[in-house]
Structure 1
């Protein structure tokens, strides 16, 4: 079954919500703040003229001289004790000689009978038109009237019957509270989101700082790696004397021995004797460490006539070109 939502349905729902809020606030506000007793009633005559020295008062019970209210006693089920005013309001035209639209009445519980489940109450009523001049005068004098004192009977005014003197009415207060709650309900998620955004922005700023520091460290690391690579490449390209001597002893054949070695500015000079000196140039050049090998003097025979004296020079500082 599909239910159609109309403007009247929404209005009825809003009114129910406002009534619920009003009932809740009325229960929450202490009674002393709503109905404060004064020391003595303020007296008016039947025409609404004040019979007292006019002073501003917050709340007051006023007396109207020469006006007698109608009094009726009614009996209702005990369960209705909380709604007596509403139940009497539906029957006020039957209980009193006043029409519902002009009747001003109060319901005062006299006795509750738990055994019989009944409640007895007195209904005090008066024609609103008879008391309206006094109520208007009280309003003009900024007196907030809460009750009428009529011929020894007290008629408490319902809130909607009390003269309004510019203060915030309960209905307006409920509407204002409702609007404030709606505004708070809307603003709270937005505030929470804003706080979350601020926290995220703070974390993002911290992460950006860490990223910047990490990038700087990475750059310095790359620079150091490049420097270390240059040193490694230089070491690989440049032979040390120990390695040169070791390589020379490896490439010289067994029938050859050196009688003199000189290392200077990347040049290695070797003098000695060999069984076949002419082959030494090729044998030394086979090494990847030596290049540009040449004799520095002619090869001659040794004294024994079997070996040859030689003197050669080779470059050993870098790889063979």
Structure 2
């Protein structure tokens, strides 16, 4: 049964190596070689006085033969390269046999992982029968034991004199390994035991190409991160510009709307005033109709719909009834007592009345042309 309470120990580097190896098969060989990737290796093994060479690819292994470390062996290798020139571009791995080196697994505190090489060099005489100046060594973490706070380290050790002698003999015979390892897996580099003084100069072209491609990858990543943000900022600025334009237009529309409302209010006020208050001309016209021909008006006051008339009439009392009968007068009464003028025999009167809208002011204006 799986214990889900235990933490998951994920080796990210191992996963990335595996993932890169799986994806490498999708890249054409020429491009992979140009980028520094390897689809094949030549493995060299020292057996007795002979050097066995095997060409290993993802599809399998092909023996290239056994070569002596003398002029005859060098000539045989040269003829093979003339027949198969592509072999000259393949990197070589010198694999040490178990009797040529020593490997073991040791446990160390987890804190030693950061300075593993220094710790191994300091503890080498305790972990092996050798001193640090007698051997070449390489250590690699193979497991992290978080429960105990330790790491399992694979340690490979080879005597300096033995490896130096073998490498010098191989280089003299025309062989220069790119890697010295103890792994049986042809595509898993577990230890690098090649001394620095035997390391061949790397191609500057490949190095600069790798730097250029790495810079291009970084630039593409930055572009993927920056371009969307930049485009979004441009879009936001465009929207803000449109919003400002729309806001300005909205303010202009609002100002026009308020102006229209103000004009409509003023016009409505005038129309309402016209509908509510009687028209003076209508009042005068109606008053002229109501007053008989033998009645004279000496004075007239009109203010806020209130009318006061003064005059002389043969029968002042009949004027009240005539004005009340009109649709434009109401609340008609004498303001002062009626007196009689002895000089002409007419009655002097002062009448007050409230003027209201009549038919002439309330009816809609008629078109001058009935046909329209």
TM-score bucket (shorter structure): 0.3 to 0.5
TM-score (norm. length: structure 2): 0.41
TM-score (norm. length: structure 1): 0.46
Q: Which has the higher contact order (CA 8 A, sep 6+)?
A: 1
